[in-house]
Amino acid sequence: MDSVWSRLGAALLSLPARGASGIGSLLEAIRTMFVGDPALRRQVGFSVAMIALSAKMARADGVVTQDEVRAFHRIFEIPPDEMRNVQRLYNLAQADTAGFETYAYQLANLCGSGDDNCLLLQDILDGLFYIAEADGIVHEREVAFLRRVSEIFRIDALHFERLLARHARPMGADPYAVLDLPINTEFGAVRKRYRTLVAENHPDRLIARGMPADFIAIATNRLAAINSAYEMIERSQVPA
């Protein structure tokens, strides 16, 4: 079976050699090529979103560090023979005159439902945070970029703040915020919430809703943060 990357390459090849060949044209090609396979459309769309918005975020920040490059490659387990297509897409996004907001709106529409907090769009935002934090700090301009993307994706402010707490303050994040709970929630409720989050964020669940298997680093990083937050709260329940 063809991989997501080979399908992405096919979509890139469908672009005109001259004229309009930006990300908007690519997204339209994806919509047309995979009209009968919404699951594959979501997977290819997810890949395009991560690569194109990463490129735009790099422009917003003004600098691409080696740490961010390494984080990019931890997320994108790209076969060597497909690397050329990914680089072409990244360069296309950086050179495209369309702003990142245009991309974000197009990608939100590609999600399919348009509902608030589309789970696949949350995964995209989480991946962008993962790349942004790789150099040890999520810069102010990156936060502004990510906040605007979240607004366009119709991701609620509380979820955004939870992502910010986990990624921008990893050493001092409020564990209750990571679990999306009020401070000092009764421990039984914390345990219930923890189990729900672990089930919801199991890699198999994420793949089922459209995250390509190649992006498993996002799920692994998220589960590690959830586990760490729960363990921190659990330790606080033990009498001194």
CB-CB contact of 89 with 26 (8 Å): yes
- Stretch 58-72: mean pLDDT, rounded? 66
The string of pLDDT tens digits covering residues 209-230 is 667 665 677 778 888 888 988 9
Kindly tell me if the per-residue pLDDT of 131 is higher than 50: yes
Q: Which of 26-35, 150-159, 217-226 has the lowest mean pLDDT?
A: 26-35
Is the pLDDT confidence value at 2 over 60?
no
Class of domain 4-169: mainly alpha
- Measured CA to CA, the distance from residue 199 to residue 149 in angstroms comes to 26
Per-residue pLDDT at 214: 59
Q: What is the mean pLDDT of residues 133-149?
A: 85
CA 24 to chain centre: 19
Parse the chain into domains and list their residue ranges. 4-169
Residue 110 has pLDDT above 70, yes or no: no
Choice between 41 and 148, residue whose per-residue pLDDT is larger? 148
With a CB cutoff of 8 Å and minimum separation 6, the contacts of 147 are 160
Rounded to two decimals, what is the model's pTM?
A: 0.74
- Cβ neighbors of 119 (< 8 A, separation 6 or more) are 209
Select the more confidently predicted residue: 212 or 164: 164
Name the average pLDDT for the chain. Answer: 77
Asked if residues 207 and 46 have their Cβ atoms less than 8 Å apart, the reply is no
Whole-number Å distance between alpha carbons of 229 and 231: 5
Closest alpha carbon to 101 in 44, 43, 53, 154: 53
Report the Cα 57 to chain-centroid distance in Å. Answer: 12
Q: What is the mean pLDDT of the segment spanning 124-143?
A: 82
Helix-strand-coil split of the chain, %, nearest 5: 70, 0, 30
